[in-house]
Amino acid sequence: MAKDKKLVEAITSMDTDFAQWYTDVVKKAELIDYSSVKGCMVIKPAGYAIWENIQKELDRRFKETGVENVYMPMFIPESLLQKEKDHVEGFAPEVAWVTHGGLNPLQERMCVRPTSETLFCDFYANDIQSYRDLPKCYNQWCSVVRWEKETRPFLRSREFLWQEGHTAHATAEEAEERTIQMLNLYADFCEEVLAMPVIRGKKTDKEKFAGAEATYTIEALMHDGKALQSGTSHNFGDGFAKAFGIQYTDRDNKLQYVHQTSWGMTTRLIGAIIMVHGDDSGLVLPPRVAPLQVMVIPIQQHKEGVLERAEELKAMLAKAGIRVRLDDSEKSPGWKFSEQEMRGIPIRVELGPKDIEAGKCVLVRRDTREKIECTLDKVTETVEELLDNIQHAMYTRAKAHLESHISDVKSYAEFQDAVENKPGFIRAMWCGSEECEIKIKEDTTATSRCMPMKEEEAVADVCVCCGKPAHKLVYWGKAY
């Protein structure tokens, strides 16, 4: 009993306090530490390794579509930031300024990039001359700074890691095509690799990116029923091109403006993984992003031959390309079990003298805690199969959670009731006016998340807020 109690105290239960649970998991799984700079975090090896896996997989997928990586400066002169009006207005409140170089004040202050549209545009203005230079499909991996007031590990920090893709195209059609292509790439990535189902949709004008013509988003649903914007893809049309003078000469020797896109994903995804898959014992990582897929835990490791057999087992799994480690520390097995669970490692392999004698081992899957006996000669294939099962089971579970947390509402009363009592997405019709959007937000704190791209049947024919005719279906919800 005393032992159980200790376990329970380690991580706050989700149902008791979801926010505290999140913080506990982040720390117990050793993903981050708070730093002495407010709102900035130290990403520890366990957290950074997840990001590296995300990077590796995304980067590969980007390159398959013809994207190349570049690196831009981290400083933006004020004059450059101000070239596109909506863009500055959107970002000015949250940029950090550099005013001095060494001891001397700068002629012009510079902000630390909150995003690099302006830098890419400035560069493209010179780099693009002819239709032969198009399209340009560049991406950069970097960190950006936004001086947030309220910060939370991974979900909102003052500095965060991300990738930002910036493309320039000859035609509006091509730009739109790229915008959608990247949105789908993001969605597929989330579903296939992170086992996280998402709603693909378009943002309303109110919610779109500062300076964009259209913003597309993928919205995921967290365990507590709140939405998390998990990736965005913007079509800029020729707005930035006109502000920055990005023109090319077409085949007919006429000057044309380019059409641009940008798209990004951030370390926030790690927050999403935690809140979609985690449980009261800690993190649960989908095998495909898990830095460690298997932890081998020897029982009575001091006994003759146990560690040797465990090493062999580890080597065998490693040889098959499985990311595996042996926990041969002096901790007790129970400690190691808890540790492996908090860290979300998908499979634990227990190996003790009894197993060795019987020529088997015990596999325990993290997602269901199911224990599986397995003969030692079949470990590799069983583990491979199990990793695959876990990946799919996690997706299926998350998908079921998403689908069972979507409410259709027709009236404003129903809407308010749903916001209060039915955590999750709310599907409701909207007339298209910003007033209704604002009113809904003020009344309920729910915001419009997106208008789904997939054809979906209308819930009603009038706006849920004002009652005027409406044909836009919107997913609403409380969001992080």
Partner RNA sequence: CGAUGCGUGGCUCAGCUUGGUAGAGCGCUGCGUUCGGGACGCAGAGGUCGCAGGUUCAAAUCCUGUCGCAUCGACCA
Instruction: Give me the residues that bind RNA (CB under 7 A), please.
Output: 3-4, 6-7, 10, 19, 23, 28, 34, 36-39, 93-94, 146, 148-158, 160, 209, 229, 232, 264, 266-268, 281, 299-302, 330-335, 337-339, 341-342, 350-355, 361-362, 364, 369, 441, 445, 479-480
Nearer to RNA, 371 or 468 (CB): 371
Token pair listed for 16: 């008791």
Q: Give the separation between CA 90 and CA 111, rounded to whole angstroms.
A: 14
Q: In angstroms, what CA-CA distances link 217 with 51, 84, 182?
A: 20, 22, 10
DSSP state of 84: S
Order of all β-strands in the sheet with 360-365 = 324-326, 294-298, 347-351, 360-365, 371-375
Nearer to RNA, 4 or 455 (CB): 4
Nearer to RNA, 39 or 291 (CB): 39
Element holding 76 (H helix, E strand): strand 75-77
CB of 309 to RNA, least distance (A): 11
DSSP labels for 144-164? EE---SS-BTTTB-SEEEEEE
Nearer to RNA, 247 or 266 (CB): 266
CB of 378 to RNA, least distance (A): 16
CB of 272 to RNA, least distance (A): 10
Nearer to RNA, 362 or 460 (CB): 362
Q: Are 227 and 425 in contact (CB under 8 A)?
A: yes
DSSP state of 141: E
Token pair listed for 422: 């039915």
CB of 264 to RNA, least distance (A): 7
Does a cis peptide bond (omega within 30 degrees of 0) precede residue 135? yes
CB of 170 to RNA, least distance (A): 28
Element holding 246 (H helix, E strand): none
Q: Is 449 helix (H, G, I), strand (E, B) or coil?
A: strand
CB of 192 to RNA, least distance (A): 21
Nearer to RNA, 146 or 178 (CB): 146
CB of 311 to RNA, least distance (A): 16
Q: Give the separation between CA 115 and CA 69, rounded to whole angstroms.
A: 16
Nearer to RNA, 260 or 448 (CB): 448
Name the amino acid, one letter, at 167.
T
Nearer to RNA, 19 or 315 (CB): 19
Query: Per DSSP, which regions of 222-299 are E strands?
Result: 227-237, 247-249, 255-257, 259-266, 294-298
CB of 130 to RNA, least distance (A): 33
